[in-house]
Amino acid sequence: MTTETVETVQTKDIQINVLFKKMQKDDKKEVLMFHILSDETKHAADLLRLTGKMTILTISDDEGPYEPIQAEFVNLQRDNKKTVLKFNVATEDVDRVNAIYPAAGTNISLLIQPQQMSIDDLEAEHEGIEYEVGSDGTVKVDSSQDDEKS
């Protein structure tokens, strides 16, 4: 009998200084592009692990941090002059994206946090059950909701 070992790789939050190169809009999403300003090779492995996954971006400039935005980390392109990070933001976050527009074209601090859901989870509509998560991680579900559905 063989046993399969599953290795989980924890990706941590990444804080880097970048040039907020541009914002581009198409029919279904906003595209955000950032150029890494300094030698961020210490984050290279973590950035590669996040490519293709959902993230939470927090942009900070001289005015302070903007509201976090959910975005898919589409790709990372490196050449001998720069590293480009490209993110897709769903149109549901359009107000938050519009709020960061003044920071485009400037040097900013970018916090990239891994998110547990996939792009499919974000786009899918679900009927849910209301619940509360306690500080100890326990989940409390309101049982009166079952009565309402019956």
User: SS3 letters for the chain?
Assistant: CCCCCCCCCCCCCEEEEEEEEEEEECCCEEEEEEEECCCCHHHHHHHHHHCCCEEEEEEEECCEECCCEEEEEEEEEECCCCEEEEEEEEHHHHHHHHHHHHHCCCEEEEEEEECCCCHHHHHCCCCCCCEEECCCCCEEECCHHHHHHC
Does residue 7 surpass a pLDDT of 50?
Answer: no
**pLDDT at 6 (0 to 100):** 44
Residue 5 has pLDDT above 60, yes or no: no
Say if residue 19's pLDDT is above 90.
Answer: yes
Q: Which of 49, 52, 69 is nearest to 110 (CA)?
A: 69
To the nearest whole number, what is the mean pLDDT of the chain? 79
- In sequence order, the 6+-apart residues with CB closer than 8 A to the CB of 112 are 13, 14, 15, 16, 47, 50, 55, 56, 57, 73
- Residue-wise pLDDT tens digits, 123-149: 444 456 776 777 777 778 776 655 555
pLDDT of residue 60: 95
Asked if residue 111 has pLDDT above 90, the reply is yes
Q: Is the pTM of this model over 0.85?
A: no
